[in-house]
Amino acid sequence: MSTHVIGGSPARLGGLDRVTGGQQYVADIHLADVLHAKLVTLDCARARIISIDTSAALQVPGVRLVMTAADLPQPVPRFGPQFEDRPVLAVGETKYHGEPVAAVAADSKDAAEQAAALVKVEYEELPAVFTIAAALDPAAPLVQDPALRLDDPLARTNVLREHHFGWGDVDAVAASADLVVEGTWTFPMVTHFAIEPHAFMAAPDGDGIAVWSSIQHPNWLQKTLAKILGLPLSKVRVFAPDPGGGFGGKQHVKLEPLVAFMALRASRPVRLVLTLEETFQTVRRNSTEVHVRSGFRADGTLVFRDIESNYLLGAYADIADRTVTKGSYAAVGPYRAPAARVVARSILSHTTPSTAFRGFGNPQPIWAVESTMDEAARALGIDPLELRLRNLARRGEEIIPGDTPADGDWAQTARKAAELVGWGTPLAAGRGRGIAFGIKSGPTTGLSYSTVRLLADGSVIVYAGTSDMGQGARTVFAQIAAQELGAPLDWITVVMGDTAVVPYDQQTSASRSTVLMGNSVLAACRAVQAKVRAMAARVHRVDEALIAVEAGLVRLPDRVLPIVDVLGPGLGRLGGEIIGNGEMRKDAEPGHPLGGSAAFYEFNCTAVEAEVDQGTGDIVLVRYVTVSDVGKALNPAQVRSQDEGAAIQGLGHTLMEHYIYDERGRIRNLGAIDYRIPTSMDLPLEFISETVENADGPGPYGSKGMSEGALLCVAPAVAAAVRDATGVVIRDLPLTPERVWQALQERSNT
């Protein structure tokens, strides 16, 4: 029995099912009498709904139900994690291209599709806003009904919230800066494009309801549905099968309430699986315009940062304003900054509702801020790595007054990345190098319960409400249990995704699960160990104080036994099991701008060597290095997967991804043909990911959370390399060949 599983890379739990086709995603779950649902949407962004005629649709054989807002409780329930602004179905008005106005449920997918096409909606297209400038225009139509936020002075604008952070006196110290670098950087609208489209299913369940969803936060969903349906939590059972990719796009409630109402109305299970096109209309990342002024002394010391960020949200807030808060709060970067001012706005628009997306509001300001570091380095004649290192916070130094200080040896991470990319070594002609640093705050509050059951034969069941959407949480928790209780890994079952069985977990986000749920599982295992210790004392008639239980072993004064050898005699003829519960709580800190200080930081350094084809604008990533400070890699293979995966996802928005809207706010490039994401052929020619592990994290065995860090710095590192190779500065993403070529043309023309 191996107790050295921490730091090993055992086969992923759930891997076998995934390679044999046995893994059941929501769309694969068979319910005998399920009805198939299809959404009815309009071919425009914002429209006043005049009438909906369902008569033709209802004539289609096999159609059981056509639901519109009129069929829902009145007033139509609204929900949302930050504002309860989103109606279950559009009420009187659609606010974005793809907002559902009706839904059909039928015996077959064909019937549902046919019927949905026969629902006749009479509508009048209305003026709408799709850009920051349009939304901020004083004459702009309002996206949100001011009545929804009566006490808010901003209610008669499209600014949902304006956030202010900062310290020191920027205007006072600005004069002492020898150099001020200033500019505006834009970040495009991009979508998550999980390969599993969102899927939802609901079925009446006795006097309650059962819901299946690809949701990342099953307990949030349970709470929201209970409120909307007027049911006690105990009567709302949420099944959350492992999502086929989440990346934040499946964090919060989307269409589950609609499907739930349909199931209750039809008295039958109803399933809705979105098409890929519909997912583009359902979730995206905030796009931004970030204006940064960074002031430096001649020796490169950072004097101040003055940031103004406009984030363009969609028509409903979802959790998108929180991303603005979190991203802006840490926008100054992992540096010592004597003075800082950050103003960040969440601006509503008649577009796809934005939501959480890996990086959670940080990649956008980092794109701008790190670009100013690069520009400052060039202007001052200081090496870009050196400039950053000079300002980089050392372990224990505050980067944001009053918040968690720097919690790692970040310089070590940066130097490792620099070395791996060959920073400072001679470059072949036509090539350039770029480097960028980034941090993201981990969870600021959280609550994870878990239960561990040590069964009579030494096998273990772990209950943990985390969502395993590919990051491998299931495996990590099993590794912890294996390490602590001595069970072989394949004797451990991890149960997730069932609110009737698994205790409460607040959410799976902010790279929190290894730290929060991991510590909870660890605590549960320790609770089991304590009971084993008491059992051993009884069985061996030894004082408990003389016994230690750790790493799967019972250490008695005269010998060492594996835990399983104590269980048999300990449980006796009646049998039984040993149950331990764990709780990991990070309480809110009253008065804290984020609600709480960061549990940890994800720090990443990305360094890139690139070649630019000056004729076509193509960027070739010759060597790409990403290094993250992870504390302790409990499962190195999974850590590597996460870092490489995050980098590749970042290459998407850096090089090729963006929504294309028409003048009427309709998305032109819905679907996979004209929205490009990286393929295997888009890998950097040489792609290196490494970690720094100093066991200095708050998670089990010194781990920190990770999986978002490697996405933060992709764009600024690549753009810096392009600049180094060609001299062109580009401040807009994505860096398509056309955009790079245009910048090269402009450079030659000046």
Site for another protein in 651-670 (CB under 8 A): 655-656, 660, 668-669
**Options 50, 148, 672, 695; binder of another protein; rule CB under 8 A:** 672
Query: Per CB under 8 A, which of residues 624..643 are in contact with another protein?
Result: 637-638, 640-641
Tokens matching residue 654:
């850096």
Cβ nearer to another protein, comparing 114 with 219: 114
Kindly state the number of chain residues that form the binding site for another protein, as judged by CB under 8 A: 82
Contact stretch for another protein (CB under 8 A) within 25-33, 258-266, 348-356, 423-431: 25-33
Q: Is 698 in the site for another protein (CB under 8 A)?
A: no
Least distance from C-beta 30 to another protein, angstroms? 7
Q: Which of residues 240-299 bind another protein (CB under 8 A)?
A: 242-247, 273, 275-276
The one-letter amino acid at 618 = D
Contact status: 748 vs another protein (CB under 8 A): no
The rounded distance, in Å, linking the Cα atoms of 630 and 297 is 32
Which CB sits closer to another protein, 247 or 410?
Answer: 247
CA gap 223, 234 in Å, rounded = 10
CB of residue 11 to another protein, shortest distance in Å:
5
> What one-character DSSP code corresponds to residue 88?
S
d(C-alpha 408, C-alpha 397), whole Å: 10
**What are the angstrom distances between the C-alpha of 152 and each of 91, 325, 343, 348?**
23, 17, 18, 15
Distance CA 131, CA 128 (A): 10
- Cis geometry, peptide bond prior to residue 75 (ω within 30 degrees of 0): yes
- Give me 454's structure tokens: 């040590």
**Which one of 10-18, 152-160, 535-543, 720-728 is the stretch in contact with another protein (CB under 8 A)?**
10-18
- The contact pattern for another protein, residues 554-583, with x = CB under 8 A and - = no contact, is ------------------------------
| Contact window for another protein (CB under 8 A) among 389-397, 420-428, 552-560, 647-655 | 647-655
| Helix pair 363-380, 714-726: axis angle to 10 deg | 30
Q: Identify whether the C-beta of residue 462 lies closer than 8 Å to the C-beta of residue 452.
A: yes
Q: How far apart are CA 486 and CA 416, in angstroms?
A: 35
Q: CB 737 → another protein: shortest distance, Å?
A: 7
How many other C-beta atoms can be found within 10 angstroms of the C-beta atom of residue 674? Answer: 10
Single-letter code of the amino acid located at 97: H
30 binds another protein (CB under 8 A): yes
Among 124, 299, 674, 746, binds another protein (CB under 8 A): 674
Q: Does 105 bind another protein (CB under 8 A)?
A: no
Q: Which is nearer to another protein, 425 or 679 (CB)?
A: 679
User: Interface with another protein includes 22 (CB under 8 A)?
Assistant: yes
Strand ranges (E), 577-693:
578-586, 601-612, 619-629, 686-692
Q: How many residues does the chain have?
A: 750
Q: Least distance (Å) from another protein to the CB of residue 658?
A: 10
In the complex, least distance from residue 60 CB atom to another protein, rounded to whole angstroms? 5
Smallest distance from another protein to CB 489, Å: 13
Which position among 149, 592, 676, 731 is part of the footprint of another protein (CB under 8 A)? 676
Nearest 5 degrees, angle CA 210-CA 213-CA 215? Answer: 130
* Residue 15 vs 168, nearer CB to another protein: 15
Site map for another protein, 384-423, x if CB under 8 A? ----------------------------------------
114 binds another protein (CB under 8 A): yes
Interface positions, 163-192, toward another protein (CB under 8 A) = 192
Whether the link from the prior residue into 146 is cis, omega within 30° of 0, is no
Helix (H) / strand (E) element for 533: namely helix 516-540
- Applying CB under 8 A, which of residues 9, 41, 294, 328 lies at the interface with another protein? 9
Is residue 599 close enough to count as binding another protein by CB under 8 A? Answer: no
Q: Using the 8-state DSSP alphabet, how is residue 504 labeled?
A: P
Q: CA-CA-CA-CA torsion for 450, 456, 458, 464, nearest 10 degrees?
A: -10
Q: Nearer Cβ to another protein, position 203 or 677?
A: 677
Q: Which of residues 460-519 bind another protein (CB under 8 A)?
A: 469-472
Choice between 351 and 641, CB closer to another protein: 641
Nearest distance from C-beta of residue 642 to another protein, angstroms: 8
Q: Which one, of 308, 318, 307, lies nearest residue 348 by Cα?
A: 318
- The Cα angle at residue 161 between residues 160 and 165, in degrees rounded to 5: 165
Task: Report 606-625 residues binding another protein (CB under 8 A).
Answer: 615-616
DSSP of 401-414, one letter per residue? TTSPPP-S-HHHHH
Which stretch in 299-307, 458-466, 515-523, 677-685 sits in contact with another protein by CB under 8 A? 677-685
Question: Could you say which residues in the range 68-97 bind another protein, by CB under 8 A?
Answer: none
Q: Is 58 in the site for another protein (CB under 8 A)?
A: no
Of 407 and 693, CB closest to another protein: 693
Give the separation between CA 297 and CA 48, rounded to whole angstroms.
Answer: 56
Report d(CA 496, CA 557) in Å as an integer.
Answer: 39
Considering the rule CB under 8 A, would residue 736 count as an interface residue with another protein? Answer: yes
Pick from 419, 565, 682, 690 the residue near another protein by CB under 8 A: 682
| Of 380, 361, 357, nearest in space to 307 by CA | 361
Which among 481, 383, 395, 396 is positioned nearest to 423, based on CA atoms?
A: 383
Distance CA 639, CA 473 (A): 11
**Closest CB to another protein among residues 645, 705:** 645
The C-alpha atoms of residue 707 and residue 645 are separated, in whole angstroms, by: 8
Considering only 43, 50, 53, 61, the residue that binds another protein (CB under 8 A) is 61
Nearest approach, Cβ of residue 16 and another protein (Å): 7
> Which residue among 352, 649, 691, 726 contacts another protein (CB under 8 A)?
649
Number of alpha carbons in the 13 Å side-chain half-sphere of residue 449:
9
Bridge partner residues of 341 (DSSP) = 166, 306
Question: Which of residues 23 and 493 has its CB atom nearest to another protein in the complex?
Answer: 23
